[in-house]
Structure 1
Amino acid sequence: MYPEYPPDLNDEQKEYLLFNLKDWSIAHGLAVRPTPTYVPTEQDPSAALATTAPVTLFPSLFPRVCFGQAASVVNAYNELYSAIASDEAWLKDIVEELTEIDDFMANLWKVHMEVKKEGYAHTLNLGLFRSDYMVHVDPSEPKPLVKQVEFNTIASSFGGLSSQVTGMHRYLRSVDAYPESMANIVTESSLPPSTSVPGLARGMAKAHEAYGKSGSGSPTCVLFLVQDMERNVFDQRHVEYALNENHGVRTFRLPFSRVLKDTKVDGERNLIYMPPQTPQKQYEVTVVYLRAGYSPSEYEDQTAWDARLQIERSKAIKCPSVLLQLAGTKKVQQVLATPHSPHLKRFLPDEKQAADVLKTFAPIYPMDKSEAGMGARKLATDPETANRYVMKPQREGGGNNVYRKAIPDTLKNLPESQWPAYILMEMIEPPEQSNVIFRNGELQKGGVICELGMYGACLWRQGQHDGEREVLENFDAGYLLRTKGDSSEEGGVAAGFGAVDSACLVDV
């Protein structure tokens, strides 16, 4: 489907390209903290070093029609998931199927129920979403389509680095780091810039503004809730700096483990942040942006759940709230995408919007004892048919899925009572293409698979009755392209599987 790409480089061309790539990436913060396997901890005990983030040498080819299709449904997906998170009764039926077999889901639901009993202190909700797609080539279709891999409602990462990598590829083109043979493919118009940094920052700024005046009399701030040992810090910093410099919003980074030490909820349920470096100066938190708290491993004991409850019961706008995090589970995706499902039109009454979103769904089935679930179990336990599927748990962050022929053996070793915690999804079949990935100082050349993420921002006010809401802001917020070797099933960059990339749009 694609032209011969990328071209081979001789030693001088390769040296020149890498020289420029390494310098530009560090100068522009296209970077991560190195892994201990790359730079041993004893050589960098204070975590002062940075290295180029895993990137592709060349922008990857991507069908222009598919990029346009993914961009056209961003607002509809924002609408869809804000509606789902606002309909507690519908979500309750979905989540309660999981709470009996998944302790993490059960504990999240418990946090919501505790706050509901007390009454939510704020009606505003912020979603910074990322919908991930792959190009799917179906011989029966006249053109390729994008099919959704998953929808992320929490910690939708790499918006910061995405804006940088498109800039890097544009720069490499401008300094003749690419051979002449690429001139007609990689052009100014074929490299769309990603607006993810200003888009995500704008979403938080709109929520900060909507929060209104401080109720405690203290100055206000936005909190970035982060993991304790965060290697992907620069990705977050780009958004943080844009929020501060372009919108005048004070930001702080708060490790998840310090929530109970450095914050408190006052009598009016304002969330008060007490910076450990200046504890006498307190701030009222308008927005908590969660880049932590999405994985069960982060909740090692009850204090972590107490910390999440403290944030949830406060007046601060949560991005996301517990309900919005639960709306992003694979089970919800499955319920929407199961063939002939009636649920999509419940949340998207606009027929064209619903039809456009439906086109992006790959077939997904439950693994429970329903009629569809029993059919899926038959597919998953047969090695021949399982080869066309991926089995996914209700987890974020990469490295959790089971692919193809590994599915039957995994199910053999998994109690049948646990099977409903998974969904079965038909594999998306992308076109063949090649690229070169630069990771930890080494080049990896070969076949690759690309995954396009479309960011969206949505701010809404919950109505008085379940299912009611008023959408205040709804806009697209840039894109991300992640690329992995075609021998790797997983695509997470932070999990060690993929690289950040940019799209070179081509007509196919």
Structure 2
Amino acid sequence: MWLATPAKRCSNVTPCDIVEQSALKRILQRLQELKVKVERHGQPTTSTRADTQSSRHDILDLLMQNQVKNQKTAAQIAKVLAQQSDKQKDVPTPPTPCGEMPHRQLANLLLLFLTNPPNIQGLHVMKLQGLLECERKQEPIPVPPGENIIKVDPFIARQFEIYRQTLQKGFSSPINIGVIRSDYMFLCGEEGVASLKQIEFNTVAVAGGGLASQLPAVHRHILKVAGIHDVNIMDNNCIAVMAGAIEKAWSLYGSQGSIVMFLVEDIQMNIYDQRLIENELWSRNIPVIRRRFEDISKRGHLDEEKRLFLDGQEVGLVYYRYGYLPQQYTEKSWEALLMMEQSRAVKCPNIGTHLVGIKKVQQELARPGVLEHFFPGDPEAVSRIRSVFAGLYSLDLGNEGDQAQAMAFADPDQFVLKPQREGGGKEMGKMSSHFN
């Protein structure tokens, strides 16, 4: 575990202020009531569909009551929705799958309200991207996770062992590609001037890029329906960029008959996000297959040249959209991972890049002197990168961990406890309740 200081929300940053906590609580309560009623009936009925429509209006009312800086937009949207509702009073409501519409409706409503970002002092994000994408050398990870994590976390220990085995035999592929997402939050400074702080660095199974590319069209449509025409919505070309990077790495592999393999699970929560990238690759005449660990374990093999074959097809690139949590692995899965990592196929990402994303490595990178190792003789680059680091504190046994714990006890609302995991949903706030 490690501690991070969350970025404070500025008074002039309002995406989360649209729905105050009390209103959000009432929304969730209303959704829960509807869910219980739907589950009790077993299938949508006239009553539950009516409740769904009622929930839609209740949620919209709560959003309207609690939005802060978008009153004009909200009023215009409410008017348009009311007009559409009047026109559709006599139109029968189509059947809705149990439990789906309320959550989709809530998500759609939360996307209605657009907020300009605050004034950001010293915005170096684009320059930082270039600095962070320095040439990667095939050498041991210069900042290993440390023996403490390997001793207490069997999952990371197993990953690191695969990394060591691959390193000892030599990396079979000279090509490394990473689809990486760096997450930031606004930190409010003096007089409301905001700066960006890096909260997390995600290196494996990064989601959101495909769906994010669709949002500009959604926002433009909403504004058009609301009669708002003086807002410029920027384009988002994530799909083209991500697919272009995969295409480039696949072409460098050098076998036109090879395929791209998405490593997936049986039920994918981010299936649409993945399909958008997959379809873009197909449009570039790059064949794509979707396979599980089980498929690779049963039907995959390496030839004498360490080329990876599955069902008779040569795999030129493995794109990991799975394999970042302990419960996703069996012993056969670990064997399949080792086989892929030791193959000539390009990995997105390889096991070394995967390990770089654990929180302990991010904490170690923030230590004095570490960035200087990567950027010798370039103090300006070091200063710019370090300026976006949020505070990261170890909870290892010893003086350093004791000091971090004392800080958390003294001001628990200013820290977040995070485990060494990808996938989201595991952060814990208010340290006092968890430490006690």
Alpha-carbon distance change, 117 to 15 in structure 1, aligned in 2, over 3 angstroms:
farther
2:116 pairs with one of 56, 61, 74: 61
Answer whether contact 2:178 2:348 (CA < 8 A) is retained.
yes
Q: Does 1:352 align with 2:406?
A: no
Go from structure 1 to structure 2 and tell me whether the alpha carbon gap of 1:64 and 1:228 turns closer, same or farther (over 3 Å shift). farther
Q: Does 1:305 align with 2:305?
A: no
Q: Confirm or deny: 8 A CA contact 1:228 1:257 kept in the other structure.
A: no
CA shift for structure 1 position 220: 0.7
Amino acid at match of 1:150: E
Structure 2 residue 91 is the aligned partner of structure 1 residue 91: no
Partner Cα separation in structure 2 for residue 377 and residue 399 of structure 1: 22
Distance 1:373 1:168, change over 3 A: same
Counterpart residue identity of residue 410, structure 1:
H
* Residue correspondence of structure 1 range 205-354 to structure 2 within 5 A: 205-213=247-255, 219-245=257-283, 247-274=284-311, 282-299=312-329, 301-338=330-367, 341-349=368-376, 350-354=378-382
TM-score normalized by the length of structure 1: 0.64
Aligned CA distance change for structure 1 residues 226 and 58 (closer, same or farther; 3 Å): same
Aligned counterparts of 1:197 and 1:374: Cα–Cα separation in 2:
45
1:13 and 2:80 matched? yes
Q: Which residue of 2 aligns with 1:425?
A: none
Task: Judge conservation of contact 1:17–1:172 (CA < 8 Å) in 2.
Answer: no
- Aligned equivalent of 1:112: 163
1:409-447: CA deviation from partner (whole Å, max 9, x where unpaired): 4335xxxxxxxxxxxxxxxxxxxxxxxxxxxxxxxxxxx
The aligned amino acid for 2:216 is T
Report which of the two has the higher share of strand.
Answer: 1
SS of the residue aligned with 1:125? coil
The structure 1 residue matched to 2:204, chosen from 154, 165, 177, is 154
Q: Secondary structure at the match of 1:252?
A: strand
Aligned pair in 2 of structure 1 residues 260, 17: CA closer, same or farther (>3 Å)?
A: farther
Which of these residues, 417, 420, 424, is aligned with residue 391 of structure 1?
417
What is the distance in 2 between the residues matched to 1:53 and 1:205? Answer: 36
1:86 Cα deviation after fit: 4.3
Change (3 A) 1:244 1:308: same
Instruction: Select the residue among 85, 100, 105 that pairs with 1:38.
Output: 100
Partners of 2:372 and 2:98 in 1: how far apart? 48
Partner of 2:48: none
**Does the aligned pair in 1 maintain the 2:120–2:196 contact within 8 Å?**
no
How does the TM-score come out when normalised to structure 2?
0.74
The CA deviation string for residues 121-143 of structure 1, in whole angstroms up to 9 with x for no partner, is: 1121111110000111122x772
Match of 2:226 in 1: 178
Q: 2:406 — aligned with what?
A: 378
Distance verdict in 2 for CA 1:145–1:256, change over 3 Å = same
CA RMSD of aligned residues (A): 2.9
Q: Distance in 2 between matches of 1:272 and 1:51?
A: 40
Q: Does 1:411 align with 2:425?
A: no
**Contact 2:278 / 2:288 at 8 angstroms: preserved in 1?**
yes
Q: Which letter does structure 1 place at the counterpart of 2:314?
A: E
After superposition, give the CA deviation of every residue in 1:146-184 in whole Å (9 maximum; x if it has no partner): 1111001111111000000112112333x3x2355xx55
Cα distance in structure 2, aligned partners of 1:103 and 1:134: 31
Secondary structure at 2:173's aligned position in 1?
Answer: coil
For each residue in 1:67-125, what CA deviation from the matched residue of structure 2 results, as whole angstroms up to 9, or x when unmatched? Answer: 9533332122222xx64x84415233x34331001011001011122223333211211
Structure 1 residue 211: deviation in Å?
A: 1.0
Query: What amino acid is the match of 1:254?
Result: R
Q: Secondary structure at the match of 1:124?
A: coil
Task: Please state whether the residue corresponding to 1:315 is helix, strand or coil.
Answer: coil
Equivalent AA in structure 2 for residue 178 of structure 1: A
CA offsets 1:167-222 (integer angstroms, 9 cap, x no match): 2112333x3x2355xx55xx22xx221111000001101101111136xxxx2111
Question: In structure 2, do the counterparts of structure 1 residues 8 and 59 end up closer, same or farther at CA, with 3 Å as the change threshold?
Answer: closer
Whether the aligned pair in 1 keeps the contact of 2:155 and 2:326 (CA below 8 Å) is yes
Asked whether 1:402 is paired with 2:428, we answer yes
Structure 1 residue 257: deviation in Å? 3.2
**What CA distance in whole angstroms lies between the structure 1 residues aligned with 2:314 and 2:83?**
50
Structure 1 residues 467-498: Cα deviation after superposition (integer angstroms, max 9, x where no partner):
xxxxxxxxxxxxxxxxxxxxxxxxxxxxxxxx
**Secondary structure, in 3 states, of the residue corresponding to 1:307?**
helix
Whole-angstrom distance in 2 between the partners of 1:130 and 1:67: 21
Change (3 A) 1:67 1:208: farther
Tell me the residue number matched to 2:244: 202
Structure 1: gaps (5+ residues): 20-33, 40-49, 275-281, 413-508
SS at match of 1:146: strand
CA displacement at 1:334 relative to structure 2? 1.0
1:205 is paired with a residue of what secondary structure?
helix
Which has more helix, going by share of residues? Answer: 2
> Unpaired runs of 5+ in structure 2?
1-11, 14-67, 87-95
**Paired residue total:** 356
2: CA distance, partners of 1:17 / 1:75: 47
Q: CA deviation at 1:296?
A: 1.2
1:289·1:319 contact (CA, 8 Å) conserved in 2? yes
Give, in whole Å, the separation in 1 of the partners of 2:151 and 2:359: 16
CA deviations 1:376-428 (Å, max 9, x no partner) are 02123x2x412210011100111111112xx234335xxxxxxxxxxxxxxxx
Q: Secondary structure at the match of 2:422?
A: coil
Q: Tell whether the 8 Å contact from 2:301 to 2:309 is kept in structure 1 after alignment.
A: yes
Distance 1:314 1:171, change over 3 A: same
Q: Indicate the residue corresponding to 1:361 in structure 2.
A: 389
Contact 1:222 1:288 in 2 (8 A): yes
